[in-house]
A and B are shown apart, each in its own frame.
Chain A
């Protein structure tokens, strides 16, 4: 039976309801929302004068109504210790999303903690520690003093290299400038931790090292550029499902020709047409389908490339562009270095590239033409270059990233309207930390350190390795073994005898044990192995700042109380720092304790923002909470360069002056020669196993499903993580829709639910990434590139039936593509 709420009316916010700014908790796009709240015992009315929208709610509202909200946007929550009605609805006045919501952001209402309506009551509400052989509730003081004492003992025995940290570095909920600064100041200033990793990969590294090394920051354009481009060239990304409202509100209008007037107005001296789009992806995604629906097939070039061969295509495009003389010679001469060397080193003919990539030569030539052939009158074409995880977590990250930037530089598609060479992004950004130079490059491969028995204490901030790592089965097995050693040791003494407890814990660590501390908003899978859980607040329960994929900085205001005694991560970090200081001081090591002294006196998240972003970010000195609040959901593009007439002044796009982020201001071309599938063993895997196990996100689920697994509307569609399969392959293997299959190879095995997908190529399956009910990381081998970036994407395995998902019978397994026949 399909999930229905049965709700057929909702309370109406009164005219004087409180309205606050919200940026969506989730993806990089950062859609603007409004939180509307009012006391539980009041209500507005349907007449226009009686509600906050000023709308006549007695009438049916038209399409895209700014006044409509639905049951997923509504909840009853606590605000300043009083019950209020809360609506979180998309903001029509926000330039990012123009009132659109995705299926993820549109559910912020029902993913709030509510004891009244029972939503998200799985949230962690109080610190928990391992005692009496189970997780038990306790106080902040007790839990933090245990963490501090164990951390101190580990540092005394092993130095700071014994402290292993996994921490988010992103914006949005569970991140943001306040919280990256809080954790950053703890681990990079008070301490100098180098064994640290990021939420989605096993080391502390950039996903776009090459772009940065070339002097091109990876978020260099504005979302408006997608409205102005002649061509959008996108590699390894699926924007309809992953950057939904960027795609719907900015790409689609250009593909439909709806931005022609804007183009003619802003760029008056050149010819314009509706945009064309080139999508490089082995898989036909719903993005490809939607582009065909809005632009016509003749304006969409889907290059269904052989997995892992993007580098060859990009080098061939550069070669072809140069052979036609379409490169931007003046720009190259004035603002770059290394062009000739890179062109020579990366040269590959279209025909040779066609043989490797499996593409038609004519299609490669057509792509080069769409990207770089001058427009009528000889003006340089404007082509937005965009990429994401298909490239980032594909084959040979560094070189492929470089090849993408080479192409954009050669065609002057950075720093002009309608261009940009950008990653599309996953989370929002929100990074401000003290220098991480001591971490080194390549950074430590933290998950392998943990597997090899190193480290004594593991601080885990909103990260779940059990889902989001490679070689995941081995990781889980060893992590459980190591943390169990400590649990058994803790069980051998009464909790209240701290001295004896510490002796037992340290002895267990010396035998290979590991003490694990998890800071999160919800119970996690890695948390099952941990000894301490610390409850964090999320966006809206705290004021939180982040920037989106066009560097748009906004403040999400606090509109409700955190559950229980949960606190912002920044303040947890501060209290942890203070507890570690106290522990060292008590133990007589005043010198070490002094490293923390006076640095963590923050009382609020705003204190952390002022200490971090305001003092340390580029342009941060202009920015305060009050100023950001007044900029609303449109915010300001970073870097902020001034404050005039009550408004923050930002930077819409980077490098418009041709000065890049290198010592001499010239962007660098880079050699990026093809070397096949770079990760050892993958070529052999491809020979040996029947299916490519491509993987990534889908529309309905955000990140590792931390909220979605508690949400019936989603759970009904994803009782087990789906695997998209070609119907012919299903017949060959005797599979039905909804069958539970095992995916197995030389690395490990995992499970998924079969979703028949006519667009899937034979021999190419697609799994949901980092899903709680079937981790694709189990079948991904541990090798990375030279900078510790995994190749999560190019993995091969076999598939066999192991059963049927019981709740699958209530699911629709119809084609997810919008019908081209309509």
Chain B
């Protein structure tokens, strides 16, 4: 993930004032898009798309891959940590994905491979990628949104949900057009 050091440098000196999402850049992501089948009674919870992020063989241990989920405007990272963790997916229970918009003020988080944390250059908040995004120190009033993953027999990794509100949204899924209506 070459973006992160650059973003951190930018944050350090220029104190990003906006457009964190634009700065985070567009990511290659394939979102399953089908025509939504409108329910007569709206569901009580958000319906998430099931988005293919990568295949297990694409991942190298401790090298984050930039993703976006549940749509292209919501950047994140996909990481194979190398050791099993709570919430880890895949045969080794070590694949995790997180939003990279800091849940404090939406600055782009940078990955530090030395201790497997995501840190915010804006106000120094830190999140532990090995503990489901627990805030180690910082100003966010929630832990980091973790994307729930499934891995199929072919090794395809899909994001299928999120466990906290993503920064900058009042609803994690903004447009029903991206929803594949993965229910159940």
Query: Which A residues are within 8 Å of any B CB, using their own CB?
Result: 1-10, 12, 46, 57-65, 68-73, 99-103, 106-107, 110, 240, 244, 248, 252-253, 256, 258, 286, 289-290, 293-294, 699-700, 713, 716-717, 810-812, 814-819, 821-822
Partner of B86, one of A1, A65, A73, A818: A1
With A4-B164, A103-B139, A107-B141 as known contacts, state yes or no: A70 contacts B103, CB within 8 Å: yes
User: Chain A nearest CB: distance from B115 CB in Å?
Assistant: 6
B1-32, CB under 8 A of A: which get 1 and which 0? 00011001000110111111110000000000
Say yes or no: A2 contacts B143, CB within 8 Å.
yes
Residues of chain B with a CB closer than 8 A to A100's CB: 105, 123, 139
Say yes or no: A812 contacts B136, CB within 8 Å.
yes
Say yes or no: A699 contacts B137, CB within 8 Å.
yes
By Cβ-Cβ distance, the 6 closest A-B pairs, closest first, are: A72-B141, A61-B168, A63-B20, A812-B128, A60-B73, A816-B137
Q: List 13 A-B contacts (CB under 8 A).
A: A1-B132, A7-B165, A8-B172, A61-B168, A63-B18, A68-B170, A103-B139, A106-B139, A256-B13, A293-B12, A815-B136, A816-B126, A819-B119
Say yes or no: B124 contacts A818, CB within 8 Å.
yes
Interface-centre pick from B119, B122, B135 (highest chain A CB count, 10 A) = B135
Residues of chain A with a CB closer than 8 A to B104's CB: 101, 106
Interface-centre pick from A4, A58, A101, A253 (highest chain B CB count, 10 A) = A4
New contact pairs (12) apart from A699-B138, A814-B117, CB-CB < 8 Å: A2-B86, A8-B162, A58-B174, A60-B74, A68-B106, A99-B105, A100-B105, A106-B140, A244-B139, A258-B15, A815-B115, A818-B119
Say yes or no: A62 contacts B170, CB within 8 Å.
no
With A100-B105, A811-B131, A816-B136 as known contacts, state yes or no: A821 contacts B114, CB within 8 Å: yes
The chain A residue sitting closest to B24, CB to CB, is A63
Is B107's CB within 8 Å of the partner chain A? yes
User: Chain A nearest CB: distance from B15 CB in Å?
Assistant: 6
Residues of chain B with a CB closer than 8 A to A5's CB: 142, 164-165
Main secondary structure of the interface of B (DSSP, over half): loop
Say yes or no: B124 contacts A10, CB within 8 Å.
no
The chain A residue sitting closest to B131, CB to CB, is A812
Residues of chain A with a CB closer than 8 A to B165's CB: 5, 7-10, 70-71
Say yes or no: B167 contacts A68, CB within 8 Å.
yes
Residues of chain A with a CB closer than 8 A to B164's CB: 4-8, 71
With A7-B165, A8-B164 as known contacts, state yes or no: A814 contacts B126, CB within 8 Å: yes
CA A63 – CA B175 in complex, angstroms?
A: 20
The chain B residue sitting closest to A818, CB to CB, is B124
Residues of chain A with a CB closer than 8 A to B135's CB: 103, 717
Say yes or no: B126 contacts A818, CB within 8 Å.
yes
Residues of chain B with a CB closer than 8 A to A812's CB: 128, 130-131, 134, 136
The chain B residue sitting closest to A68, CB to CB, is B168
Query: Which B residues are within 8 Å of any A CB, using their own CB?
Result: 4-5, 8, 12-13, 15-22, 45-46, 73-74, 86, 103-107, 110, 112, 114-115, 117, 119, 121-124, 126, 128, 130-143, 146, 162-165, 167-175
With A9-B172, A63-B19 as known contacts, state yes or no: A102 contacts B139, CB within 8 Å: yes
With A4-B143, A103-B140 as known contacts, state yes or no: A61 contacts B134, CB within 8 Å: no
Residues of chain A with a CB closer than 8 A to B115's CB: 814-815, 819
CA A819 – CA B15 in complex, angstroms?
A: 17
CA A294 – CA B74 in complex, angstroms?
A: 27
Say yes or no: A60 contacts B126, CB within 8 Å.
no
Say yes or no: A822 contacts B142, CB within 8 Å.
no
Residues of chain A with a CB closer than 8 A to B18's CB: 62-64
Residues of chain B with a CB closer than 8 A to A73's CB: 141
Say yes or no: B138 contacts A63, CB within 8 Å.
no
Say yes or no: A713 contacts B12, CB within 8 Å.
no
Residues of chain A with a CB closer than 8 A to B45's CB: 8-9
Main secondary structure of the interface of A (DSSP, over half): loop
Partner of A60, one of B21, B107, B119, B132: B21
CA A106 – CA B102 in complex, angstroms?
A: 14
Residues of chain B with a CB closer than 8 A to A822's CB: 4-5, 8, 110, 112, 119, 121
Say yes or no: B17 contacts A63, CB within 8 Å.
yes
Say yes or no: B124 contacts A293, CB within 8 Å.
yes
User: Chain B nearest CB: distance from A254 CB in Å?
Assistant: 12
Residues of chain A with a CB closer than 8 A to B46's CB: 8-9
User: Chain B nearest CB: distance from A776 CB in Å?
Assistant: 21
With A63-B107, A812-B130 as known contacts, state yes or no: A57 contacts B137, CB within 8 Å: no
Say yes or no: B15 contacts A256, CB within 8 Å.
yes
With A8-B46, A822-B8 as known contacts, state yes or no: A62 contacts B20, CB within 8 Å: yes
Say yes or no: B143 contacts A3, CB within 8 Å.
yes
Residues of chain A with a CB closer than 8 A to B141's CB: 70, 72-73, 101, 103, 106-107, 110, 713
Residues of chain A with a CB closer than 8 A to B171's CB: 8-10, 46, 57
Interface-centre pick from A6, A60, A699 (highest chain B CB count, 10 A) = A60
The chain B residue sitting closest to A107, CB to CB, is B141
Say yes or no: B17 contacts A64, CB within 8 Å.
yes
CA A100 – CA B105 in complex, angstroms?
A: 8
CA A758 – CA B91 in complex, angstroms?
A: 34
The chain A residue sitting closest to B112, CB to CB, is A819
The chain B residue sitting closest to A55, CB to CB, is B170
The chain A residue sitting closest to B163, CB to CB, is A4
Say yes or no: A12 contacts B132, CB within 8 Å.
no
User: Chain A nearest CB: distance from B3 CB in Å?
Assistant: 12
Residues of chain A with a CB closer than 8 A to B146's CB: 4
With A1-B132, A6-B163, A102-B139 as known contacts, state yes or no: A63 contacts B170, CB within 8 Å: no
CA A821 – CA B172 in complex, angstroms?
A: 32
With A46-B170, A812-B136, A821-B112 as known contacts, state yes or no: A72 contacts B142, CB within 8 Å: yes
User: Chain A nearest CB: distance from B104 CB in Å?
Assistant: 8
Residues of chain B with a CB closer than 8 A to A103's CB: 135, 138-141
CA A819 – CA B117 in complex, angstroms?
A: 9
